[in-house]
Copies of this chain bind each other. A is one copy, B any other.
Amino acid sequence: ASTLALGDKKVEDEEEVKAVKSGAAGGATAAAGDGGNGNKEVVSYWGVEPPKVTKEDGSEWSWNCFRPWETYKADLTIDLEKKHVPVTFLDKFALWTVKTLRWPTDLFFQRRYGCRAMMLETVAAVPGMVGGMLLHCKSLRRFEHSGGWIKALLEEAENERMHLMTFMEVSKPRWYERALVFAVQGVFFNAYFLTYILSPKLAHRIVGYLEEEAIHSYTEFLKELDKGTIENVPAPAIAIDYWRMPPDSTLRDVVMVVRADEAHHRDVNHFASDIHYQGHELRKAPAPLGYH
């Protein structure tokens, strides 16, 4: 039951997908032999059929945005208290930036942690993508190996996007929240892009501190759930499949695994910053791939 409770949007999407699919399949016979110059039929002309994917128990895999082999069990044993002690001026500047950004955020969301999580995850998924993209272009330009860091940062971006896909099942954005996300993404993407070009060590340090704040927010979220001020609804189906959770999991369990994810991002980003502080490029140290 819990897999259906919050799945309205998903079901609707899947029906549209099926419509596209059967359009293609219907065209398969019609298009055979023509040069691929029909618009409706060409999908099948190119012969690109998505592979049939099944769950471990043999039932059909119902997600297109992630696959069974990308799912994992979160490591809940990770130290949540560990914090990076700022040493250099850049460290202190990074921490100051993050603390300053928390101010308007706390004011805007107050104790609406579900909404806060959803909104902030739209921002959290940006740094990994920007960093991965810049390292990719650098690797191409310089004819250099990446040491796995491109993939590690893109994995982080994808993980954050999955956080968003999860929280948006619990809390629906209103029109002015959508507008806000639009504006914030525009500013933050460019700001982070510039920061990463000027000083990757600062950029990764900022993300490290942002993740420390995220851990704090999710801990507050848990407190509200335990107090009962936020209802502990069943976990969305997408979360159960992504983190391989028991089917009767709740929002509380989801927040626990997301918080563990943030702790891992904290480590990866402080680690990346440290490599730069030691005067190395990231590619000189193997990236922590699959560090969940």
Contacts and interface: CB of A to CB of B under 8 A. Distances in A.
Interface in A90-122: 118, 121-122
Contact of A275 (B43, B50, B289): B43
Contacts of A47: 267
B285 A21 contact: yes
Contacts of A48: 267-268, 271, 288, 291
Nearest to A118: B143
Interface in A122-152: 122, 125-126, 129, 133, 136-137, 139-143, 145-148, 150-151
Contact of A39 (B21, B64, B274): B274
Interface size class of A (residues with CB under 8 A): 35 or more
Interface string A256-292: 0000000000011011001101101001111111110
Contacts of A16: 284
A151 B286 CA distance: 22
A20 B285 contact: yes
A145 B65 contact: yes
Interface in A63-92: 64-67, 69, 82, 84-85, 87
The A contact surface, by secondary structure, is: helix
A184 B21 CA distance: 38
Contacts of A141: 122, 178, 181-182, 185
A47 to B, nearest CB: 7
Interface of A: 10, 13, 16-17, 19-21, 23-24, 35-37, 39-40, 42-43, 46-51, 64-67, 69, 82, 84-85, 87, 118, 121-122, 125-126, 129, 133, 136-137, 139-143, 145-148, 150-151, 154, 157-158, 161, 164-165, 168, 173, 178, 181-182, 185, 189, 267-268, 270-271, 274-275, 277-278, 280, 283-291
Given A48-B288, A143-B181, 19 more contacts: A17-B284, A20-B275, A20-B280, A37-B87, A39-B274, A42-B270, A43-B271, A43-B275, A46-B270, A51-B288, A64-B146, A65-B145, A67-B289, A125-B136, A126-B137, A137-B189, A143-B168, A143-B178, A151-B158
